[in-house]
Amino acid sequence: MIRPKGPFFFFNRNPWLLAILLSLGSMGALSAQENLVLTVVPFKTQAEQAYAYLGESFSETLSTKLVGVRGIKLYERSQFSQIADELKLEASQKEFFDQDTVSRIGKVVSIDYMLMGSATLAGSNLSCSVRLVNVNSGKAVLAQEFRGTYPRDLFSLQDEAALAIAKTLTVKLSDLELRKLTKRPTQDLDAFGLYNSSLVSKDDKQRISLLEKAVERDPAFLQAWNLLADLYETAGRIDVARGAYEHILEADPEDYRATYNLALLDLDQGAPDKAVPLLQRCLELKGEDPDVLYHLGLAHEFGASGRRFDTGCDVQTAKTFYERARAANPKHREALYALGVVCANLSQSASDPQDQLALITESREALVAYRDMYPDSPQAEEVNANISLLESAEKELKEYLQAP
């Protein structure tokens, strides 16, 4: 989830200070280079209508298995869909991976690999074709088919595919990660059937009802609980969503998806003090994830009143987290945008002109990077105006410092 943002505007306060008007919506062991970013495109299904869920079931289950693996960051499907819409990409798997499209995607998002595939059911014969594509080269690094009998081999095929992907990405799995990667989501096939039916339903109320029945049959079915918690939050049932996430974390304190989403829920509800330890836990589980670092920066912008940049906020710490997010992903649009804001904010309170100049320069550089990567951003007009003001302030400060 990416938090909404609105326009901001800088204006001159004196020859070398900028005041800021904001109207914005509501240390891991791995280095950034060790994190591979993967996005999963919904799998296609070739089967009778009664089994239309199979492709989505494979892609959702593989996403759930891989999201907890240290060294792999999943680029959220909703975020990728937004990028696809912005780039006007055709919603077909072939179009996603031609050389021109790969080049266009690579210019705006830091995705290393894309996973696509299909599930085919003919009688009781089940097969899953998996294709893992390197975004930089556009070439497939894994193209493999997994075969078995339905429903007996459904879970084992998902396990085999997940292990093959991790092996191809040369991710070293701990014993715990290996157990999780090959763990069946549920032992109850009826519960799994309800879960699968929820994946193809277009009605969120029906999806919630199906998932509630699934977890009633198997309270330990955490994959279903995670999806159910997300749907509760989308429906505005915040307390119920919180209870679902807490249930997951009570059963598995290392469930990354629930930890991260509960942190975002707390941020949305104006409780950054609750969000911060959860986000720190995410860093412990997965290392320098740029989205986690960005949201840690955002959490430190809030003061005791619940308002941004109010008494009690820690803008310097926010800046540090935004810088780490940018280091982990130089194309992280929210981190670039936020870094420009906080540096300008900090320049107001800096007493030394050299410090003020450094902050204004960093603010300008972050916003220029944001503008150059996202020229069609809704904030483009404001960003360009702010860059001009920052350039003027930077020039004035340099002249002041060079004056005899």
38 is a domain residue: yes
pLDDT at 22: 35
Going by C-alpha positions, the residue among 337, 225, 321 that lies closest to residue 282 is 321
**Together in a domain, 116 and 175:** yes
pLDDT at 142: 94
Whether the pTM exceeds 0.85: the reply is no
**Together in a domain, 41 and 60:** yes
The three-class DSSP label of residue 186 is: coil
191 is a domain residue: no
Range of the domain at 57: 30-184
pLDDT at 174: 79
244 is a domain residue: no
Alpha helices in 137-237 (DSSP H): 154-168, 175-181, 189-200, 204-217, 222-234
CATH number of the domain encompassing residue 360 = 1.25.40
Determine the residue type at 348.
Q
DSSP E strands, 111-168: 113-122, 125-134, 140-149
Count of domains observed in the chain: 2
**Together in a domain, 313 and 178:** no
**Together in a domain, 339 and 374:** yes
**pLDDT digits over 60-99, tens only?**
999 999 988 888 888 876 566 565 555 555 544 444 456 5
3-state helix, strand, coil split of the chain in percent (to 5) is 55, 15, 30
**Together in a domain, 34 and 179:** yes
**Together in a domain, 41 and 173:** yes
Show the tokens assigned to 124. 């009781």
Residues of the chain above pLDDT 90, percent: 62
Give the whole-angstrom CA distance, residue 75 versus residue 61.
15
**Together in a domain, 17 and 85:** no
Q: Which of 128, 156, 184 is the last residue of a domain?
A: 184
Q: Which of 160, 184, 208 is the last residue of a domain?
A: 184
pLDDT at 92: 47
pLDDT at 99: 55
**Under 8 Å between Cβ of 165 and 71:** no
**Under 8 Å between Cβ of 206 and 196:** no
List, for the chain, all residue ranges whose pLDDT scores fall below the cut of 70.
1-34, 77-109
**Together in a domain, 146 and 48:** yes
**Together in a domain, 161 and 302:** no
**pLDDT digits over 258-285, tens only?**
999 999 999 999 999 999 999 999 999 9
**Together in a domain, 120 and 51:** yes
